[in-house]
Structure 1
Amino acid sequence: MPEAVLKGRVALVTGVSRRKGIGFAIAQRLATLGADVFIHSFSPYDADRSWGADPDGIPALIATLQEYGTRIAHAEGNFLDPAVPHQIVNAAVEAFGHIDILVANHTYSTLENLEELTATAIDTHLQVNVRGTLLLTQAFAAQHHQSSGGRVVLLTSGQHLNPMPSELAYVASKGAVQQLTLSLSAHLSPRGITVNTVNPGATDTGWADDKLYEFIRAANPQGRWGQPEDAARLIGWLATDDAQWITGQTLNSTGGGY
């Protein structure tokens, strides 16, 4: 068990709906480091995808996280509603008094190439991934009154390293999140808040078919896919005092590959 270096701190992690997901691994890692964790989910999103929702539902996630002995709370919310980011932050503050760490892990993703793009697809990606992230960060910063220890970690994809022509709306939204990193960091650094973005690379959360899985496994220098815990360990470290001098960065946790 890692040392409880985050004891007394509170984290809000969005997009925590499945035990196989990156969001759950992040929440789990922060809990093992001693943080109280407020998790956000939007289960209908997963239920509509090929991988499906967690078979045992959100109560199973909460029960597992509670095994680490820290306080856990939860709220559902669809970031297509512009009021929801502030509502989620307010719910976390009501539950725990304050938030020290925000991990904006939520995402909306569909496959469309240029010929298939629709205005609705573009707008939905931008509203959930970009607007949702910005409003979460705004609400987080508004309640952060400490002079140090604030952490914002955003999640991007590999669009800045490799072409993703079948995911153009997703690429546009995640590219925007990445480009916000340095400017948000400059604005929030004087208030003791660091802002970094993590690209977790191709991560095995059950979304790839067998052909794609083998292609990416063979292409990775380490001969494997990333696991949710790989990104979670990095994000857990970024939340600690050891990372207080790291801000405005995009960190690629990809095993040297995609």
Structure 2
Amino acid sequence: MPRLPHPAPEDLRRDPLPLRGRTALVTGASRRAGIGHAVARRLAAYGASVYVHHHVPHDTAMPWGADRTEDVIASVRAALGDPAARIVGGPGDLSDPAAPDRLIATAGSALGGRLDILVANHALSGSDGTLDTIDAAMLDAHWAVDTRSVLLLVQAYARHRAALPSRTTGGRVVMMTSGQDIAGGMPGEIAYALQKGALASITRSLSTTLAQQAITVNTVNPGPVDTDYATGETYEAVAARFPSGRWGMPDDPARLIAWLATDEADWITGQVIDSEGGFRH
């Protein structure tokens, strides 16, 4: 194969809106304190049109509660870098095996018929325990939301891309893991750790599968992120384990994920990337 030439000088100058004209689906963005909301805002700021998925009943049942959907959408829309881009959103219970296919179709249609970027950020909180306390229902619940739905989303997304008129570049899939394979693991959340570990393990296989469609697949471990779930002594103890003395904030992994969606990351695929700010496990 011929060697590629060095980029022209103009190609080295970074576009301030590197995702202008692209479209994205971000799942699990029910809360302004969450990573999904931060990712959606970053993608919008880079010029993309974004479909913001939410499942408010999940967060309503959690101690932190849910935000009003219109407030989340308004916050993402306020970050728009391209006035011509669109921000839309809608619900979806991804524990339903039919929901991923519907969501991909709905998001693609709402954003003009083409979906370029899939960020599978959603996850099930709670309903978990130690090896001694987990049961089949806990394992099944986490499998359905944390793993099965993600793989079905990727499947539906790949089929959507394959149906486009021609081989379209710029396809991106980003999944989320949780550092369950680092240091002490997550012995208090066996079901969650198991299913998130499955996504890390399947990353390389998915990237190989989708390479011929010009789709990259990467998985991000954001480390401990302050999404308003920890307080008091627990919060301070975790902060002390970062060299900087602070927790990760939602925009920390969001910057990485948004960059992975750009053409600058076109040569990065099949990777599980830790974005933990030097966290000491």
TM-score by length of 2: 0.89
More helix by share: 1
User: For structure 1, which runs of at least 5 residues remain unmatched after alignment?
Assistant: none
In 2, the alpha carbon distance for the partners of 1:156 and 1:43 equals: 22
- What secondary structure is seen at the aligned counterpart in 1 of 2:256? helix
Aligned to 1:83: 98
Paired residues of 2:41 and 2:77 also in contact (CA < 8 A): no
What percent identity do the matched residue pairs reach? 48
- What secondary structure is seen at the aligned counterpart in 2 of 1:114? coil
Paired residues of 2:49 and 2:86 also in contact (CA < 8 A): yes
Q: Deviations over 1:87-133 (max 9, x none)?
A: 11010111121100000000012240111101111000001011000
Out of 44, 66, 83, which is 2:57 matched to? Answer: 44
Out of 158, 168, 172, which is 1:151 matched to? Answer: 172
In 2, the alpha carbon distance for the partners of 1:193 and 1:7 equals: 18
In 2, the alpha carbon distance for the partners of 1:174 and 1:211 equals: 27
In 1, the alpha carbon distance for the partners of 2:193 and 2:48 equals: 32
Paired residues of 2:24 and 2:50 also in contact (CA < 8 A): yes
Aligned to 1:107: 123
Measured after TM superposition, the shift of residue 50 of structure 1 is: 1.0
Aligned to 1:248: 270
Out of 145, 156, 170, which is 1:139 matched to? Answer: 156
1:73 aligns with 2:121: no
In 1, the alpha carbon distance for the partners of 2:232 and 2:187 equals: 20
Aligned to 2:211: 189
Runs (4+) of structure 1 exceeding 4 A deviation are: none
Paired residues of 2:50 and 2:87 also in contact (CA < 8 A): yes
Which runs of structure 2 are paired with 1:216-227 in the superposition (5 Å)? 216-227=238-249
Q: Deviations over 1:5-60 (max 9, x none)?
A: 10110000000101110000000000000000001110111111111111xx0101
Aligned to 2:234: 212
Aligned to 2:32: 19
In 1, the alpha carbon distance for the partners of 2:182 and 2:59 equals: 27
Output the amino acid matched with 1:62. I
Paired residues of 2:204 and 2:270 also in contact (CA < 8 A): yes
1:93 aligns with 2:104: no
Aligned to 2:75: 64
Out of 161, 164, 188, which is 1:166 matched to? Answer: 188
In 2, the alpha carbon distance for the partners of 1:200 and 1:13 equals: 16
Aligned to 1:35: 48
Query: Comparing 142-151 with 233-242, which one deviates more in the overlay?
Result: 142-151
In 2, the alpha carbon distance for the partners of 1:124 and 1:225 equals: 29
1:198 aligns with 2:220: yes
User: For structure 2, which runs of at least 5 residues remain unmatched after alignment?
Assistant: 1-14
Output the amino acid matched with 1:205. T
Calculate the aligned-residue CA RMSD, in Å: 1.1
Considering only CA atoms, is the larger Rg found in Structure 1 or Structure 2?
A: 2
Query: Comparing 106-115 with 17-26, which one deviates more in the overlay?
Result: 106-115
- What secondary structure is seen at the aligned counterpart in 2 of 1:37? strand
Q: Deviations over 1:57-102 (max 9, x none)?
A: 0101111222223301111011110000111101011112110000
